[in-house]
């Protein structure tokens, strides 16, 4: 093996393996993201889609379809569909979160305005449904309409659960499914649907995407309290300062005595944070084994993702998807 091959990341291996499909996805996205009547739409989408990103979700759809032996043209439509839905949610999220940076560049809401971001998000959402219609499969529309509803439910739930100490692990999972896992699981599932995969395979693909998305989010939560900023692009304690109820904190709050509860109430619910509070939070997370328990959860979800794939054919893509699940939790293993 050459050095290049040994250092290739699993999503890079997938991209290379599915290069033809991904190129077709890119072409379709560029064709459909413009609008003849409203040039600003093209400006905004070019900014966002030109910024790149890993195109992980379309890759998941192509991989799932490939794994189920699909050779027709419509996996490309579905891959473009999930990227459009993803881009639409990013545009709306950046308005909701008042974000100023995305993928190292100024956000669309900053460069243009909130209005354009809202309306172009709506436009991409409509375009995504047009692409699905072209596949002629109602079941695909069913799955992605459900996923879209779950995404917005999760985001609304996140708004109301923010800074609320009553947020438990069940609510957390719903939020994470909305934020991340629902689109991953739909992306993999529709790959199976378009390939006419048997029910059992379709379910396995859904389970893989769901578990992968959840593992991904939990690792993100964990690194915020224990990673280094070079690896994550964030500073340790960002979530604490933003008063987010992430999984480590939820576990520590559940185990808290009265005094500790008062600490969380002051720092997270009331937002009255002082010097030394982050250190105290880290001490409480350690005391209750919240970091370790969260880490175990991430590993368990990654295992669940890998196990789900076992019913599927042993094609090269399967191993790449298994490697991807390992890669997601590698930084906390």
Q: Which residues bind a second copy (CB under 8 A)?
A: 35, 37-41, 89, 92, 95-96, 114-116, 118-123, 125-127, 129-130, 132-133, 136, 138, 141-142, 145-146, 148-149, 151-157, 159-160, 174
Beta bridge partners of 105: 102
CB of 214 to a second copy, least distance (A): 16
> Least distance from C-beta 48 to a second copy, angstroms?
14
Residue whose CB is less far from a second copy, 58 or 154: 154
CB of 145 or CB of 255, closer to a second copy? 145
Q: Give the CA diameter of the chain.
A: 62
Q: 58 with 82: CB under 8 angstroms?
A: yes
How far, in Å, CA of 277 to CA of 240, rounded? 9
Angstrom CA distances, 171 to 159, 175, 176, 247, stand at: 12, 6, 9, 10
**Positive or negative torsion for Cα 234, 235, 240, 243:** negative
Residue with Cβ nearer a second copy (112 or 263): 112
Question: Is the CB of 55 or the CB of 127 nearer to a second copy?
Answer: 127
Supply the minimum distance, in Å, between the C-beta of residue 103 and a second copy.
Answer: 21
Could you tell me the smallest distance in angstroms from the CB atom of residue 43 to a second copy? 10
Instruction: List the structure tokens of 253.
Output: 């709050």
- Cα dihedral: 262, 267, 271, 276 (round 10): 140
Nearer to a second copy, 119 or 165 (CB): 119
* Beta carbon of residue 239, minimum distance to a second copy (angstroms, whole number): 19
């Amino acid at each position: 093996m050459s050095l290049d091959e040994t250092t290739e990341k699993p999503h890079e291996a997938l991209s290379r393996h599915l290069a033809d499909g991904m190129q077709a996805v890119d072409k379709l996205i560029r064709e459909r993201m413009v609008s003849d009547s409203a040039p600003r739409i093209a400006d905004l989408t070019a900014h966002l889609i030109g910024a790149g990103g890993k195109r992980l979700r379309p890759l998941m759809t192509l991989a799932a379809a490939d794994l189920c032996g699909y050779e027709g043209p419509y996996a490309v439509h579905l891959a473009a569909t999930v990227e459009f839905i993803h881009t639409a949610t990013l545009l709306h999220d950046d308005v909701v979160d008042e974000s100023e940076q995305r993928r190292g560049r100024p956000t669309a809401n900053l460069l243009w305005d909130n209005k354009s971001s809202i309306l172009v998000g709506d436009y991409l959402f409509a375009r995504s449904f047009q692409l699905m219609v072209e596949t002629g499969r109602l079941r695909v529309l069913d799955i992605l309409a459900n996923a879209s509803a779950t995404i917005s439910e999760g985001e609304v739930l996140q708004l109301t659960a923010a800074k609320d100490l009553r947020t438990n692990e069940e609510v957390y999972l719903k939020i994470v499914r909305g934020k991340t896992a629902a689109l991953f699981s739909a992306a993999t599932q529709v790959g199976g649907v378009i390939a006419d995969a048997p029910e059992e395979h379709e379910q396995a693909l859904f389970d893989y995407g769901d578990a992968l998305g959840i593992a991904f989010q939990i690792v993100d939560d964990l690194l915020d309290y224990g990673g280094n900023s070079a690896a994550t692009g964030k500073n340790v304690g960002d979530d604490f300062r933003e008063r987010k109820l992430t999984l480590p904190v939820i576990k520590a709050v559940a185990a808290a005595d009265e005094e500790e509860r008062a600490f969380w109430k002051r720092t997270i619910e009331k937002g009255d944070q002082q010097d030394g509070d982050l250190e105290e939070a880290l001490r409480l997370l350690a005391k209750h084994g919240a970091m370790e328990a969260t880490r175990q959860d991430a590993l368990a979800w990654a295992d669940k993702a890998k196990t789900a794939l076992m019913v599927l054919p042993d094609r090269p893509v399967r191993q790449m998807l298994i490697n991807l699940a390992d890669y997601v939790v590698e930084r906390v293993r």
